Amino acid sequence: MFSRILIANRGEVALRIIRACKEMGIETVAVFSEADRDALHVSMADESYCIGGPRATDSYLRIDSLITLAKAVRCGAVHPGYGMLSENAEFAAACEEEGIVFIGPSADVIRKMGLKEVARSIAVRNNIPVISGSDILGSFEEAAKQALKIGYPVMLKARSGGGGKGIRIVRSEEEMEKAYSEVSKEALGSFGDDGIFMEKYIEQAKHIEVQLLADADGKVIVLGDRDCSVQRRNQKLIEECPAPVLDEEVRRRMYDSAVKLAGDVGYVTVGTVEFLVKGDEYYFLEMNTRLQVEHSVTEMVCGVDIVEWQIRTAAGVAIPFTQEDIPHGRCAIECRICAEHAGDCMPAVGRVELLHIPGGMGVRFDTALYQNFEITPFYDSMLGKLVVCADTRDAAIRKMKSALSELILAGVDNNREMHMRFLEDVRFVMGTYDTGIYEKVF
């Protein structure tokens, strides 16, 4: 097992990793930007080092600085968290070259599954259903031609995209030129790769993902599934485990597909396979080769510390439990609490003047907030994840409404009331909602 780990991230996920490491007896080294000097992860780690200016490009995304520091402070491994460099094959390769363990899959696997057209081809060779689509598009004219062939509406997607960026729904030929230009620019600016492909856009579908844990011996365990259909601009807002109103036969087939895909590429550690589901049909979307924000909601149901086992499998530890050992039957819901203005949903900044965190049986709030903490404009707007778990879905909804009503966060505009509105919506209560629910509720 590792004796010391460098955490190449910030905020809530850095704290989550630090806590797991403390329980495992592993020393932690945190990094921080000039804007994060007073951040909680800085004080909770065993050691902390400033690595640059407030913008992520000047600090948390500096591969050279992270590798240099990891070597200097004798860290045997680096945990990338989620976001930032977590799916960056160059970072994983740099760690491998320096003899530092990247806590995640290999650089080769990240490359394969990170390029969506490659991941799609791997799914096809494993007889996993995929949505009809195109290869990488070379121009707007080619995109327009492919769209006519596939049939509108279509979705333009950056092959290196993630986090809801580099995606546009196109409903007509008149919209294509503008959408193609926007996706290309956003992809290049966000991921350094302007490669774009196209898929048929399936409306009124559910976005379901399967959480995997795999070890170096080829053992792959399914820890559960999540419904992530409550989205705004392709960014997730609410997740729940397990997915409601999902046909059990479809669930079984999705699990089999996810395990098959992981086995094909020799996947190790934690990963998630995402699908679109409509009726009794499902389609492969992508594989996230990292820990996900919503791992917490699965932990509440399956009882496995996903971060701990991500670290253990990266260190070569074999998974000692079997698929049959994973409990199921309980229900958990997660609401992402974000700093945003109610009117235009734009990110908000400010100082936390008053903070009260909900409590009680089956309630969890993963956050790096504390009173008087300053929310800056430099990073993602998520302030924390409020998670509840109960024996039934109805009970989980009631528990979440109670927890949201108890949450007090003054000084920073946030989306608590938006979540309350979703929980009152009949489509959500019935579990029949799909990826278009945001537009229907708001």
Residue 177: partners with Cβ closer than 8 Å, 6 or more residues away: 140, 144
Instruction: Confirm if 242 and 301 have CB atoms less than 8 A apart.
Output: yes
Token pair, residue 128, equals: 């996993």
Which of 16, 120, 159, 290 is the catalytic position?
290
Identify the burial level of 174 via C-beta atoms within 10 angstroms of its C-beta, where 0-12 means exposed, 13-18 middle and 19 or more buried.
Answer: exposed
Answer yes or no: 74 catalytic.
no
Alpha-carbon gap, residue 159 to 196, rounded angstroms = 6
Check the CA dihedral 247-243-300-269 and report its sign.
positive
Instruction: Confirm if 28 and 7 have CB atoms less than 8 A apart.
Output: yes
Alpha-carbon gap, residue 57 to 389, rounded angstroms = 37
Alpha-carbon gap, residue 256 to 275, rounded angstroms = 13
Alpha-carbon gap, residue 380 to 218, rounded angstroms = 35
Alpha-carbon gap, residue 80 to 6, rounded angstroms = 9
- Give, in order, the Cα–Cα distances in Å from 274 to each of 10, 105, 115, 120, 416: 25, 17, 14, 12, 27
Q: What is the number of alpha carbons within 13 Å of residue 337 lying toward its C-beta? A: 29
3-state secondary structure 127-165: CCCECCECCCCCCHHHHHHHHHHHCCCEEEEEEEEECCE
Q: Smallest Cα–Cα separation from 232: which of 440, 438, 381, 83?
A: 438
Identify the burial level of 434 via C-beta atoms within 10 angstroms of its C-beta, where 0-12 means exposed, 13-18 middle and 19 or more buried.
Answer: buried
Catalytic residues, which ones? 290
